[in-house]
A and B are shown apart, each in its own frame.
Chain A
Amino acid sequence: MTLREIADLLDARILVGGDHLDIEVKTAFSADLMSDVLAFAKPGSIMITGLTNPQIVRIASIVDNSAILVVRGKIPPEETLTLAEELDIPVLSTRYILFETSGRLYANGIVGCVRKIEGPESVIPL
């Protein structure tokens, strides 16, 4: 799907990168844990998140995300959007929740960066 099609499908507002709407997206990674984005996102994937701090832009730039899609109707602060302009990362915002957003994209052919985690399960202490 192109970013334009994604924006249409999710009634998303394009906050940054209106001139990049022809970018083709094939994969996505949904997370509110940036550590997991760093560990699992693939180049070219779209980051779907409920976080809005400037870190999401730096992470997207580092892992080569094609765009950031912010969910639950959140609009990131000016600082985040300015940084996104600077680093040339498109930012979209949709009112759909993370589950709905991911499901709608999946139903339209976008797949996850990884299916499931290989290797041993990690036991997380409190």
Chain B
Amino acid sequence: MTQGCECSFSVEGEKFAEAGKVSVEIKKMLKKIGIPDDVRRRAAIATYESEVNIISYAIEGTVKLQVTRDRILIDIRDTGPGISNIEQAMEQGYSTANDRIREMGFGAGMGLFNIKNCSDTFEISSEEGKGTHLKILINR
């Protein structure tokens, strides 16, 4: 199948109960256009982690999904405090999560590390006081 699609979702900060809604939706959409299970799974995991990051740390954000003939692009932008030390944030186990985040079962410091693991190409940029931008590319 060579079907593609393009869509965008917004995610609000602090809305912990909503965490994962976008990822579940994206996983369903990818199934409809015939993306293989293991690829859908990686895309959904990367999206879930990103969603939780927006909800945990940012004011708001958008998740854009673009599927073309040979790859899946998940582009995530948020407005929020940004990340001061990206290298440190990428480390396994490094976390700045508060108790509320941890009570929900998150904040283990695995997020960005796991996103990178699920991606074929991963780019991150951030500006302190403005926000963070993630570009996740997964081959179909």
Contacts and interface: CB of A to CB of B under 8 A. Distances in A.
Interface of A: 31-36, 38-39, 43, 49, 51, 53-56, 58-59, 61-64, 87, 119-120, 122-125
Contacts of B81: none
Contacts of B110: 35-36, 38-39
Contacts of B52: 35
A35 B23 contact: no
B95 to A, nearest CB: 8
18 contacts: A31-B105, A34-B104, A35-B107, A35-B110, A38-B45, A38-B110, A39-B113, A39-B117, A49-B105, A51-B105, A53-B17, A53-B105, A55-B20, A55-B105, A58-B19, A58-B23, A61-B27, A62-B24
A86 to B, nearest CB: 10
A58 B48 contact: yes
B32 to A, nearest CB: 15
Interface in B96-127: 104-111, 113-114, 117
Chain B contact residues: helix, strand, loop or mixed? helix
Contacts of B109: 35, 122, 124
Contacts of B24: 58, 61-62, 87
Contact of A55 (B19, B95, B107, B111): B19
B105 A39 contact: no
Contact of A123 (B38, B93, B106, B108): B93
A53 B45 CA distance: 18
Interface string B77-91: 000000000000001
Scoring A32, A51, A55, A120 by chain B CB atoms within 10 A of each residue's CB, the highest score goes to A55
Contacts of B105: 31-35, 49, 51, 53, 55-56
Given A39-B114, A122-B92, A123-B93, A58 B21 contact: yes
B140 interface: no
Contacts of B20: 54-55, 58-59, 62
Given A54-B17, A59-B20, A61-B27, A35 B106 contact: yes
B37 interface: yes
Nearest to A35: B108
Contacts of A59: 20, 48
Contacts of A123: 93
Interface in B16-62: 17, 19-21, 23-24, 27, 37-38, 41, 44-45, 48-49, 52
